[in-house]
Structure 1
């Protein structure tokens, strides 16, 4: 994370996640922030499909380790992101990770490496 005026900056998460009525909304925001971070890294490395979408591979097991949650909780978080329309998951088959496509809110902006270095 880049620092600006001595305070660390985090990936921006949409306000719709933070203001949900269900419990655990901060954990959902954390996972979405991780996915946004991974998407910005993919964009920097030019891992973009010809149609302009960025596809991610982020397994439930990876979410478990990063968030320190159970498999059931990680699955619920992914489901909540899907229901809110922020991600699309496409299953590939047994033993293969789902392909995740992020749906950015209209005001979202991915930070490029140059912008992060400037801050």
Structure 2
């Protein structure tokens, strides 16, 4: 891969948002990285109106795809998902018989309302 200097006129690269509160949590780097990926996907789900009957945004992201996305084995992904479950940042609910689980990314209460985002404007 070839790299170049950033110029004033260059367009921004695509990037993920890394929430600052994750720095304070005692979870693995894999779990932090996975949260960042899931948070990004949840924002896309919100844009696409993947909302349950309670008004909560959910996403579907199979473990195999997560494994490829973060370049980790499936067991590492499962361990990181459990870590996120254990600290309360992720809820997994059955999507129904023979359907994938719905994943709900949670946000700490003190982070909500700090900055409103209009994803539809993007």
Q: Same fold (TM over 0.5)?
A: yes
Matches of residues 11-90 of structure 1 in structure 2 within 5 Å? 11-15=17-21, 17-21=22-26, 25-90=28-93
Aligned-partner Cα distance in 2 for 1:90–1:14: 27
- Render the CA deviation track for 1:25-62: whole Å, top value 9, x for unaligned: 22211111111111111111222223210111111111
TM-score by length of 1: 0.72
The structure with more radius of gyration: 2
How many residues end up aligned between the 2 structures? 108
**What displacement does 1:14 show?**
4.9
**RCO greater where, 1 or 2, for CA within 8 Å and sep 6 or more?**
1
Q: What secondary structure does 1:56 align onto?
A: coil
- Specify every segment of 5 or more residues in structure 1 that has no aligned partner in the other structure, as ranges: none
Unaligned runs of 5+ in 2: 1-7
**Aligned-residue CA RMSD (Å):** 2.6
Q: Cα deviation per residue 1:4-35 (whole Å; 9 max; x = unaligned)?
A: x87765324252x333445xx22211111111
Please identify which structure carries the higher strand content: 1
